[in-house]
Homo-oligomer: A and B are copies of this chain.
Amino acid sequence: MVNARRERYREETRDEAKRIALAQLAEHGPEGVSVNAIAKRMGVTGPALYRYFKGRDDLLTELVRDAWHDLADAAEASVAASEGLESADRTRALGEAFRTWAITQPHRYLLLLGTPLPGYHAPTDTIAAAHRTMSALLRVLPPNGDGPVESTLDGQLRAWARSRGEGDLPPAVLLTGVRAFTRLHGVLSLEVSGQFGPMGIDPALLYRAEVESLILGDSGTRGSTRLSGPG
């Protein structure tokens, strides 16, 4: 039988370590997350932390896991809060929520979607959390996708939808969702990695322009099926 007090203490210790790791991540980047340094800040010696994490990789994987869940929670919260509004405003709300989540903790966003960690492989519950985020997006986007989709892609989208238990959604809608994500990520990714800095362009304006184009649906869902040149 497991002791509850010990279990609670263990969880608190793990949380404290992760909190400090997150601070290190923000300050020095992924390479700067040091088990030894975390332990020192906690007032214990380095090897003590190996009772709580298998190693550095395990600790980082945990941070990735937590971040995905946190992002999914934020997305779902936005969708819940915008219930009753029209699709355009719900999309704007989710778009802002997504961007806010990203730019208030750029290091975390990059942990999820930047350069992958060397030996990292996503645990299944992390993939599920990523799916939650995508589902939130699909729930608010205007249903502009209703045309036929190029056949290869059509099959892949159907298979993907089935695997996540949303086999009822038409491929065109799924495609709209995926493309919406890649477009928003395109701007956010460059913003959080500081690429717009030297350009003097406000990424918020670019980002909102993308959001509006998603709402207008003039974003090539028609053209998306044309995969080769004319003629």
Contact = CB atoms under 8 A, between A and B. Distances in A.
B229 A92 contact: yes
A210 interface: yes
Interface in A108-161: 110, 113-118, 122, 127, 150, 152-153, 156-157, 159-160
A165 interface: no
Contacts of A193: 113-116
A229 B28 CA distance: 38
How many of these chains are in the complex? 2
B182 A30 contact: no
A67 interface: no
Interface residues of A, number: 66
Interface string A163-203: 10000000000010011001111110110011100111110
B88 A229 contact: yes
Given A114-B193, A115-B115, A220-B216, A153 B229 contact: no
A198 B122 contact: yes
A223 B212 CA distance: 6
Interface string A213-230: 111101110111111111
A32 interface: yes
Given A110-B115, A118-B32, A195-B113, A206 B220 contact: no
A181 to B, nearest CB: 8
Contact of A227 (B157, B159, B208, B219): B208
A89 B210 CA distance: 24
A77 interface: no
A29 interface: yes
Contact of A178 (B32, B201, B224, B228): B201
A31 interface: yes
A219 B183 CA distance: 11
Given A223-B218, A229-B88, A152 B205 contact: yes
Given A118-B28, A182-B206, A224 B201 contact: no
B186 A153 contact: no
In the A-B complex, the 9 residue pairs with the smallest Cβ-Cβ separation, listed nearest first, are A213-B220, A186-B186, A114-B115, A209-B224, A182-B186, A115-B115, A29-B118, A212-B223, A110-B115
